[in-house]
């Protein structure tokens, strides 16, 4: 077992290292650590880090799988909220680590606890939110927002189970406050035949979210004004232009994309859904994919031998820049510190917060 009091190796020693040198040190450290450490790699992770992962997938899948292992150290090559979920779901004694604490999520940052609590208080001037509104937070959110949902009868959702979660929510209360991604909430509501006029955007920087009391009473879903900076960039013209050139091609998008992009797509689903759908398609098919660049490039290489052509939807390069902060240098630094007997960048959710967040996550797991 690694002792927390051991001397720390500073990151400055790793900054100037070439990627190739880091790779050698990563492999050497992993050999010494053995099964003591488990490296998780999210779908959107850069290739020079992703290749070192023991487990790959989306954030919830990775956290659940890591908690089932005997590894003491969970090194999450993702972003901050993912490492928080790993800590919440982990077994006693497991330690969740994020190689670079600057690896955040711009979408998650668009909804913070202070703004959500203020929204809840403002809703209370129009109706009793604890009687009429179910707070639903996308898993791409901070632990304190998951705890807020746990405390107020709410729940967590993912891009793959959002419909089941909303169905559960509406059986309990007539309205949903959905945060932080408006696009996933709108697309899910649309699939449930909820009129767009009953899905209104709540702007946290405006009084009453920029809505009138009558609009709040009429709305079925209050959509937080938030989005993913990567998926937001995909535009309808990108799809239309590609279809002109590839009339028999297929378009598949993540539900974090804009509503008009999703409507123009043949398929809409989570990262795992995108991978499975393209994998199941006939050889020689052509795909336009609206999701993060690293994942699209990985899929393109994976299915190239089958004659499948997989293209990124946007004409400009865009990847999850915050996740890309976890580079070979940070991973090598993290692992060598573990070898030296020091845990760096541990992500530890406060006990009370973790308990409430676990309630919301357990509700989700029970429903889905």
Mean pLDDT split into 10-residue runs, the chain, 368 residues? 61 92 96 95 92 90 84 94 94 95 91 97 96 97 97 96 97 97 98 98 98 98 95 95 97 98 98 96 97 94 97 82 88 96 96 97 93
CA distance 290 to 309: 14
56 and 99 in a single domain? The answer is: yes
CATH number at residue 216: 3.40.50.10800
235 and 215 in one domain? no
pLDDT score for 311? 97
Q: 36: which residues sit within 8 A by CB, 6+ positions away?
A: 2, 71, 72, 73, 338
Please check whether residue 359 lies inside any domain of the structure.
no
Quick check: bond before 124 cis, omega within 30? no
Query: Which residues, 6 or more positions from 270, have their beta carbon under 8 angstroms from its beta carbon?
Result: 58, 158, 159, 160, 254, 255
In a domain, 81, yes or no: yes
Q: Check whether residue 129 and residue 212 sit in a common domain.
A: yes
Whether residues 207 and 265 share a domain: the answer is: no
| DSSP annotation string for 167-226 | HHHHHH-SEEEEES-HHHHHHHHHHTT--GGGEEEE-TTSGGGG--HHHHHH-SEEEES-
pLDDT of residue 4: 45
* pLDDT given at position 1: 44
Residue 98 placed within a domain: yes
pLDDT score recorded for residue 8: 81
- Asked if residue 225 and residue 114 are part of one domain, the reply reads yes
Evaluate whether residue 360 is within a structural domain. no
- For residue 126, report the phi and psi dihedrals to the nearest 5 degrees: -110, -40
Q: Is residue 130 part of a domain?
A: yes
Quote the number of domains for the chain: 3
Residue 364 lies in a domain: no
Residue 368: predicted pLDDT: 82
Question: Which structural domain range is residue 43 located in?
Answer: 11-103+323-349
pLDDT in tens, 75-123: 999 999 999 999 999 999 999 999 999 998 888 999 999 999 999 999 9
119 and 184: one domain?
yes
182 & 69 share domain: no
Residue where a domain terminates, one of 229, 256, 279: 229
User: 91-96 contacts: CB < 8 A, separation 24 or more?
Assistant: 91/67, 94/66, 94/67, 95/343, 95/346, 96/346, 96/347, 96/348
If we measure between CA atoms, which residue out of 102, 94, 106, 175 comes closest to residue 134?
175
pLDDT digits (tens, 9 = 90+) for 13-42: 999 999 999 999 999 999 999 999 999 999
> How does the average pLDDT of the chain come out, rounded?
94
d(CA 178, CA 221): 7
97 and 40 within one domain: yes
Residue 37 resides in a domain: yes
């Amino acid at each position: 077992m690694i002792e927390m009091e051991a001397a720390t190796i500073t990151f400055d020693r790793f900054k100037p290292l070439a990627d190739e040198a880091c790779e050698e040190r990563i492999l050497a450290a992993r050999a010494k650590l053995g099964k003591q450490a488990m490296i998780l790699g999210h779908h959107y992770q850069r290739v020079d880090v992703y290749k070192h992962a023991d487990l790959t997938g989306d954030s919830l899948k990775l956290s659940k799988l890591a908690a089932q292992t005997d590894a003491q150290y969970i090194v999450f090559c993702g972003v901050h909220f993912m490492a928080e979920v790993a800590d919440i779901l982990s077994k006693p004694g497991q330690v969740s680590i994020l190689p670079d604490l600057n690896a955040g999520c711009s979408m998650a940052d668009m909804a913070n606890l202070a703004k959500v609590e203020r929204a809840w208080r403002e809703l209370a001037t129009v109706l009793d939110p604890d009687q009429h509104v179910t707070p639903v937070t996308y898993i791409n959110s901070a632990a304190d927002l998951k705890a807020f949902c746990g405390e107020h009868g709410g729940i967590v959702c993912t891009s793959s189970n959002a419909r089941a979660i909303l169905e559960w929510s509406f059986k309990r209360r007539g309205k949903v406050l959905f945060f932080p991604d408006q696009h996933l909430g709108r697309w899910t509501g649309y699939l449930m035949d909820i009129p767009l006029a009953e899905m209104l955007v709540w702007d946290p920087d405006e009084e009453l979210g920029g809505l009138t009391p009558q609009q709040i009473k009429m709305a079925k879903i209050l959509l937080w004004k938030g989005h993913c900076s990567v998926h937001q960039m995909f535009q309808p013209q990108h799809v239309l232009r590609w279809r002109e050139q590839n009339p028999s091609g297929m378009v598949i998008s993540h539900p974090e994309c804009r509503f008009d992009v999703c409507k123009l797509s043949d398929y809409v689903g989570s990262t795992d859904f995108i991978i499975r759908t393209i994998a199941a398609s006939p050889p020689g098919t052509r795909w336009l994919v609206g999701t993060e660049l690293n994942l699209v490039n990985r899929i393109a290489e994976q299915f190239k031998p089958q004659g499948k052509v997989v293209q990124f939807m946007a004409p400009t390069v865009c990847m999850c820049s915050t996740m890309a902060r976890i580079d070979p240098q940070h991973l090598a630094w993290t692992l060598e510190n573990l070898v030296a007997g020091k845990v760096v960048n541990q992500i530890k959710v406060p006990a009370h917060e973790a308990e409430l967040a676990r309630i919301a996550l357990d509700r989700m797991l029970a429903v889905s």
